[in-house]
Each structure stands twice: as C-alpha cells, then as structure tokens.
Chain A
Amino acid sequence: MSSTAVQAPIFPSFAQVFQGLVGQIGQLRQMAPTPTLPEATRVRRAIATLIAETNADEAVWLESCIRCGQCTSACHYFQATGDTKYAPLRKMNLYRRVYQREIGPFRWWYRLVTRPIGLKDLEALQELVYDSCSECGRCTMVCPMGIDIASLVHHQRSALVAAELVPPELAALQMEQKQRGTVFGASAEALHRMVDTIRERAGVAIPLDKARAEVMVLSSAVDLVGNGNGLLATARVMNHLGVDWTICSDGFESANFGLLSGDMALWKRQVDPIVAAAKRIGAKTLVIAECGHAYPALRWNPTLKGEDLPFEMMYMSEYLGRQAKAGRLRLRPLQGRVTYHDPCKTGRRGGAFDEPRAVLRAMQADFVELPANKEFNWCCGGGAGIFLLERTTRLRDESFKIKMRQVDMTGAEAVVVSCASCRLNFEAGRHKNQWNKRVESLVELVAAHLLDDAPQGAQSPIEEAAA
C-alpha cells in the first residue's frame, strides 16, 4: 500500500511537499504587514469588535466560568506543557474584562474597579488565542458549564485582526488572500497548469469550468502549489464514480484565511464566489477539499442561509462516505491496520464522524479507533493556522506527543487523516520523531485502492447517493 498508486511518481511525495512548504512558510514572516494605525485606534477597534460580536450566548458563557480547572485536563497545550498560561479558562479573561466593562449588567462597577484594556494586553493575548488554541473545542467536552471556549477565542482573534495583531505568517496569507485572492500564489492559472499536468502526465481528465455540472469540487492551495497528488486523487475518484463534475476556476479555493485569522469580512469575500459559481453551474452538491477549516467556513457558515442554497455542501470525507455507503465506490481491500484521526473542524466541531469510517469499512480495513476518538479526539496540535506559526514550534511538538501515544496504543501501521493541515502537522511530527507510522490522506488512499474496471461515464444523479 502506498499513498499514491501511480507507477512513476508524477508529483513529489507528501514528505517532500512538506519540506517545500516549510521553506515557503519561512518566507511568509518577511512578507507580513506591519501595523499602520495609531495605538489608541487599534485598541478601540479591538474593543468595538468584541462588543459587536457579543450576543447573549457569549455573555452567558463569559458569566458562567467558575474556575473549576477541569478544562485543563482536556487541553493538549496545557497537558503537553503543564504551563498555567495555557489553561483554557485563562483564554477568556480579556474578553470577560471587556464584556464586564462595556456590556455586562454591572458595567458601571467594573469600570471603577478594573483597568481599561491597553495595547499591551492585546499583544499578550496573541499567544493565548493564536499560538496556544487550535479552537478544537475539547475543553467544552469536560466543562461542567459546557462553555464553548473555542468560539470565545475566535471572537478574540477577530478583535486582534482589528488591532492589527495577527501573527506574521497568518497576516501575510490573510493579506495575500485579501489583495490577490490567492494563497501561496495558488491562482486560477496555477489551477489550469495543474489540471494540464495531470491530464498530460497521469492521463486523468479534470473537467474544468463546465457550464453546468451536478457536482462542484473545490481544491486547495496545498494541492495546487505542492501536493498535486491530492487533486489527482480527487479526479481519479470523481471519474471512477462517473458523476457529472467540475472545478470552477473562479471559485476553487477551500482555504479561507479570513476564518483562520478571524477576519470576518475576508471570510465572506472568499465564500461568495464559491457560492455564486455553484449556483451558476446548477450544482446539486459542493464537495469541499480535505482542508479542515474550509468545512466550518462553508458548511457551517452561520450567515449562509441553508434553506436558500440550491446545493448541499459536504466535506470530502462525507462525500466519499456517502458514495461508499451507497456502494458506488468499488475498492480493493486495504492491507495493514489503520486508525483514523478526526480533524477538530470536521469532527467535534463539524459532526462528520460516520462517513470517513464508512469509507474505511468499504476498504475492509483492519480499522482500530484511537483511545480518545470522535468528539473526544485529541487535536494534532497544528489546527486553526497554528501549523504555520514558527514560534509555536515547541507547543506543536510537545502536544503532538499526545497524538503519537494515542496512535501507538492502537497498534496501527498508518493513521488516516482527512485534513491537509492535520496531515502537514502529522508529517512534521513524524519527521522530527522518526516515527514509524505512515500518514495517509483519505482521498488519496481511496484513489490508490479504486477498482478501475468500474463503468465510466454518467451515472445516476448525486442526490440519490445522498439519499
């Protein structure tokens, strides 16, 4: 079993992709924008953002913490370091201070007894809401009050966007996506080039920019600038299924550095063209590439009214799972024992639990669950953009050891992931620890195990598969 079933490798292996990407990430730091606004304005904007984003939900959560400390047992960054500053309950403190001074029912009192927020406070907040919280939500699983700390952290990221305090690597990508509409230079031209390469060298056709299609598939920057195998595998699987599919060059990017950085305006700006393209081509299904945060960015986007959308959005693992359940994926058996890592954004914070497991079952895999799985899964340590931040290296490395122990306990030879960000972080951890496990992408694994005598050409519409 190899991660790609091509005879002669057309694209570099994921390990090589990872090495290349590390170099590119290094350059991001030099490209990061520097703050332009006066200090007082930045502070004012951060506070205004928090006020604007605080509804009753946030207020109740901020009011509810009793500092019982249970959340620390669930947080990989705290467990890996034992450092009190990474305790999840601390990650709400600044937000609570703003809330108590500006919105809370006793604000007149808190304005008397608490210090106003200054730029120093916001600078210190960076480490708590970017570096040491992957918004994985595991703390919510143990909190006796059920506080959704991850969402409170995300509001604080938005506040730091307003205060021009996004960490350099994320800020550079946020700026690139805002100004040029690309991530790592993954433009429409890059997509065209990749589609041509795949057609010429692998002999696999990708129907690009069809006027009408049942299924619209997204790609991601990681696939376009590095891991061509990802897009190749996707194309193989879609062609195998024989569905009427396309990729739209005016809406193909899954990655959303608006959501990752906390820039809500950019989030929307990235989502709109995808929705417009899907509507234009009459898509019934939008398949989101294996890019974890793209799932909440699109599928769980609270501003996209689900009832009004003429198409259904699903993650790659969900799509594959539904096809597998419907018996449309004809797969060779998978050799060796495997386990599955639920990406936080598609698992605990997304609910796509059954489908990836259905795919592994369809491959008759010797599948073992991680000791903590599904909604209790430990984060890989690199989610929510943390993989990109150089200064989080120690936190990532230490917390990844929890993940390694979990995988080791299963006795599996390979861990299957369905998120490019998790995969990169696993690859980094595997490399550093000379770990003897393979890390596989679900879609690439499926592509490598297709029984290719399946009929090509149009089959029944995809709604039936979903039904």
Chain B
Amino acid sequence: MTLLDFARGPAIHWSLIIFAAGTIWRLLGVLILTRGADLSRPRDAFGNFKGYRTVFSRAWPSGEFTTATRYQTVMAYTFHIATLIVVIGIVPHIEFIKSLTGATWPGLPNAAGVAVGIIALVSLLALILRRVTKPAVYCSTWGDYFAWLVVAAPLVTGLMTFAHIGPRYETMLGLHILSAALLFAWFPFSKLMHAFWFVFSRAQSGLAYAHRGVRI
C-alpha cells in the first residue's frame, strides 16, 4: 500500500468516522445536561424570543468595538470564506466529494483556486502573527497553536500539490490528504468545535439578556 493509498483509504475514512463520532459525543455530552430555570418574570412577555437574534447579530462586532476588533474580524472572515471556497470550489475536491456522495458541481478555474488558497493562507498567517505578537491579549495555550498548525497544514500541502512543488505529486497528494485527515480527527477534541458551539453559546446569552430586556 502506497502512502497515497493509505491516505485515500483507511486514513481519511477513519478520520471522518472519528470526526462524526467525536463531534456527536462532545455535543451530546454537553447538551444533555439539565438547564437551569430562570423563574423571574421576564421584562416583556415574549421578549425572550428576541434573544435568538444574537445568534446572527453577533456575526459582526458592534460599532463600539470596531477599532479593537477590525483587524481580527476582517482576517477571520477572509480566512473562513476563502477556505470554504477552496474546500468546495476546486475540481480535485469536487471529484473527491463526488466519489463519496455522488454529488457534483462546476469547479473554479485552477488559477482562481490557487489565488483563493493563497488568500486563505495569508489571512491565517496574519492571524497567528497577531496572536504571537500580543501574548497578553490572547493568553494562548498549546492547543491554540496546534489547532493553527492542523488548519494550516492542508492549505500548505494543498497549494504545494496543486503547484507541483516539493516531492513527487503522488507523495504530496498523500501528505495533503493525510493533513486533511488530521484536521478531521482533531476537530472534535479542539477549539475547532466552535463551528458548532457558537450557535448555542450566542443563543443562551441572547436569551438570558433578552429576559431582562437587554439586547446584546
């Protein structure tokens, strides 16, 4: 079995199984806990439902915090959007998704794919640069740096594979798929889980504050 066969076969399959099982385990482990009841009379009878707005409104920081958050917000959005475009937009990924699910759609031209991949990588570098240079603000743990590496690796190896840089193509592709497998497998155990938590976390706070008539 070559490296590519291993990556395309057991590695990616098991990582997806770990991803699904781990994510479900972690979500359920938290969400089955009881919820504390707030029996106090809400400010408005139906005001609490307004709290769900926070799930959407918190997608962008309030004007009050623009100066402090601008750099990070712009970079984070650039990274997330560019990464999403690369993941679902370039032809080799579409081929892979088709092999798993049968679904397919037209892909981006190669040059566009490379450009978006580079944008994603640069924004990710911009984020880590800030984290490293402002330790007092970020209070980083090893988990923060490891998560960054795990996210950066598929981007770097993907771009190298695409551009035929480094070892021969098959090896590079194998490494790229392995790095993606690592990302999937690490996901449920790390802060990458914020992809799910943000909905619950924002909704809870939105509801708690809306109960008191405060829009956060």
Contacts and interface: CB of A to CB of B under 8 A. Distances in A.
Interface of A: 54-57, 59-61, 63-70, 72-74, 82-84, 87, 89-90, 103-106, 140-148, 151, 299-307, 309, 312, 348-351, 353, 372, 375-376
Nearest to B31: A56
Contacts of B38: 300, 302
Given A55-B36, A60-B30, A67 B144 contact: yes
Interface string B187-216: 001010110011011101110110111111
B54 to A, nearest CB: 6
B29 interface: yes
Can you list the 7 inter-chain pairs with the closest CB atoms, starting with the nearest?
A: A105-B29, A306-B41, A351-B213, A73-B68, A84-B136, A146-B205, A146-B202
A65 B191 CA distance: 7
A302 to B, nearest CB: 4
B198 to A, nearest CB: 5
B104 interface: no
Contacts of B216: 140-141, 146, 375
Interface in B15-35: 25-26, 28-35
Contacts of A64: 194, 197-198, 200-201
Contacts of B61: 70, 142, 144
B62 interface: yes
Contacts of B69: 70, 73, 142
B26 A67 contact: no
B110 interface: no
Contacts of A300: 38, 40, 211-212
Contacts of B166: none
A312 B43 CA distance: 11
A145 B139 contact: no
A67 B141 contact: yes
A60 B27 CA distance: 9
Contacts of B103: none
Contacts of B141: 67
A306 B201 contact: no
A146 B191 contact: no
Nearest to A374: B214
Contacts of A151: 208
Interface in B128-151: 131, 134-141, 144
B212 A349 contact: yes
Contacts of B32: 56
A346 B125 CA distance: 42
Residue among A305, A348, A351 with max Cβ neighbours from chain B (10 Å): A351
A111 to B, nearest CB: 15
Contact of A69 (B65, B138, B193): B138
Chain B contact-residue range equals 35 or more
A68 B72 contact: yes
A68 to B, nearest CB: 7
A302 B30 contact: no
A351 B51 CA distance: 13
B211 to A, nearest CB: 8
A340 to B, nearest CB: 16
B111 interface: no
Contacts of A55: 33-36
Contacts of B194: 64, 66, 145
7 contacts: A56-B31, A59-B30, A69-B139, A140-B216, A142-B68, A148-B204, A300-B38
Contact of B197 (A145, A306, A375): A145
Interface string B2-20: 0000000000000000000
Contacts of A72: 136-137
B58 A146 contact: yes
Contacts of A351: 43, 209, 212-214
A79 to B, nearest CB: 9
A145 B39 CA distance: 25
Interface string B57-88: 01001101100110010001000000000000
B37 interface: yes
Nearest to B212: A351
A67 B29 CA distance: 22
Nearest to B41: A306
Contacts of A84: 135-137, 139
B215 A145 contact: no
**Most chain B CB inside 10 Å of its own CB: which residue of A57, A140, A146, A147:** A146
Interface centre among A145, A299, A301, A353 (most CB of B within 10 A): A145
Contacts of A306: 39-42
A172 B140 CA distance: 37
A61 B204 contact: yes
Given A142-B62, A376-B62, A87 B39 contact: no
B30 A61 contact: no
Nearest to A147: B201
Contacts of A303: 39
B30 A145 contact: no
A144 B58 contact: yes
A145 B213 contact: no
A211 B216 CA distance: 42
Counting chain A CB atoms within 10 Å of each CB, the highest count among B42, B212, B215 belongs to: B212
